[in-house]
Every structure is written in structure tokens, then in C-alpha cells.
Amino acid sequence: METIKNRYDFVFYFDVKDGNPNGDPDAGNLPRIDAETGNGLVTDVCIKRKVRNYISIIKSGKPPFDIFIKEKAILNNLIDNAHEDTEVKKKEKGEKTEAARMVMCKNYYDIRAFGAVMSTGKNAGQVRGPIQITFARSVDPIVALEHSITRMAVTTEAEAEKQSGDNRTMGRKYTVPYGLYRGHGFISAHLAEQTGFSDEDLNLFFEAMQNMFEHDRSAARGEMNLRKLIVFKHSSALGNGMAHELFSRVTHKKITGEGVPARNYSDYEIHLDGKTFSDIFKIIELH
């Protein structure tokens, strides 16, 4: 298939209610927060993980939509397997790395989309992916709540004896009462040409962005939903303008009374060129 010929920039909003959208392992799994502003953060890695998981579900992990970075994967084995491809074996020694890179791009969706470092094992080089996503940041400061929870059971006989049969285990859980997050993304037609990222791949990515939270439910994450995905489609590979100028066309407004904390998506309005719009997924073609 032909690779995409247009540049794209996009804005996305999602929210969380009574959940932890992205725990920080360096802070006891507390929700990630900008220490200076109090705004919540969700990493690009977290967003891409959800995209990968969705595609793995609907495409059953089969080439050309297999996933390279997946749970319990041994990456060097996958790279080594590419060197067993018939076409790679035919290449001269100095050409094998590039040939293996092309095989990896062909078989793995996330390499075509996000890129990968594959210079370990038998070496398939490095790929810079056409899709780049920023950290998502909450539009207002968030509050991280800490809850004590009780499990009516223990793990070992020794714990049961210590508690004289009471058998309770205490734990902690962290949630954000409510947070609306905004992130930005960029899709390069020039880098798509290098990885083979096609229009079919692009449509699948937008589908995954819209549905990534629907199959990622857990007690820890509460309610998470994509609220808006606004895509600016440029008329060429180079584009029609600056990304930051396009992003400034999308704004948000809190409509609760002064001093009243937001607790639902209905407490905000999202505007495009100063007006509200009902679409969750909207493509704007630039000329």
C-alpha cells in the first residue's frame, strides 16, 4: 500500500473520574503531577500503550498488525526472527540490517507508527516513527486523593496467626476525583514513507485513539473516556502552517461557578474557532 501523503496535527481531550490515569512508580504510584503547577500528567508512553493494546485486540496480533512492544515480549528474539526471513538471508552482510529493518516495519504496526530501537540482538537498526505524541496535561490543577482499603484475607498462614484469625490486609489506593486532560500529536508524511505507514494504518490509529479506553477498564483507572479528537489534515507533506497556530484554534472553558471544582465533563466546553461543536472525532482539511 502507498504511504500517507499528507501531514497531520491533532489535539485530543480525555477525562478521568475517580481513577488514577497514569501512576508514577517513583512516587508510590501516585497520579503524575507537575510539582510547580499542580496539573496532572499522562505520558506519551501510556497513551501509545493503550493504542497498541486496542490494535492487538482487533487485529489478533497477526502481521502486518502485530505489536513489537507488548507484554512479556523478548525483543531480541523478534529481531533475530527477522534475520531468518528469506529475503534478508539473500542479502550481503552489509545489507542485512536494512533488510531486517524493512521486515520489522512490514510486520509490526507499532514500529511503522511509533518507531523503535532494534539495534540489539542481530540488529535491525533504528526507526523514527511518523506519529509523535506529547504528554497529556490536565487543563486545571488536580487533587490526588489517598484512600485506605481493606482486603478480608491474608496471604500466608504466618499472617493469619499474627492477627489471631482476624485476617485483614490493609492497602492504599490513589485517585483523581476528576480531571480533563489535553494532549497533542503530530504525523509526518516524510517519516511515514520510511516506515511504510499507509492510509489504512492511519485510519486504524484514529480508530484506536477513539476507542483506546473502552477496552482498558480497571478498578484503578475509574472512568476514562476520550472526549474530543480534532485532526488538522494538511494539503501536502510539508503542511499549510505551524502546528502551534492550529492547536490554538482549539480551546476549552470551565463553566462551573467561581471556586466550584469540576467533577464532570459537562463542567467544561471545548471550542473550535470560538464555537462549541458536537463531534467527538473531527477532521479539518486545510487548503
Instruction: Count the Cβ atoms, other than its own, within 10 Å of residue 87.
Output: 10
Q: Which residues contact 160 (CB under 8 A, 6 or more apart)?
A: 154, 167
According to the model, what pLDDT value does residue 157 have? 87
Question: Does the pLDDT of residue 159 top 90, yes or no?
Answer: no
Q: Is residue 226 within a helix (H) or strand (E), and if so which, with residue range?
A: strand 223-233
The reply to whether 176 falls in a domain is yes
Encode pLDDT of 15-73 as tens digits: 999 999 999 999 999 999 999 999 999 999 999 999 999 999 999 999 999 999 999 99
Read off the C-alpha cell for 171.
492497602
Average pLDDT of span 121-135: 96
Residue 250 pLDDT level (bands cut at 50, 70, 90):
very high
According to the model, what pLDDT value does residue 266 have? 97
According to the model, what pLDDT value does residue 165 have? 77
- Number of domains present in the structure of the chain: 1
The reply to whether 1 falls in a domain is no
The reply to whether 19 falls in a domain is yes
Read off the C-alpha cell for 282.
473531527
Encode pLDDT of 185-236 as tens digits: 999 999 999 999 999 999 999 999 999 999 999 988 989 999 999 999 999 9
According to the model, what pLDDT value does residue 198 have? 98
pTM for this one? 0.94
**42 HSE (CA, 13 A, CB side):** 29
The reply to whether 224 falls in a domain is yes
The reply to whether 244 falls in a domain is yes
Give the domain extent around 205: 8-285
According to the model, what pLDDT value does residue 88 have? 95
The reply to whether 191 falls in a domain is yes
The reply to whether 13 falls in a domain is yes
φ/ψ (deg, to 5) at 278: -90, -20
The reply to whether 2 falls in a domain is no
Gap between the Cα atoms of 176 and 209, Å rounded: 22
According to the model, what pLDDT value does residue 59 have? 97
Mean pLDDT of the chain: 95
Cα 178 vs. chain centroid, distance in angstroms? 19
Residue with cell 533475530: 80
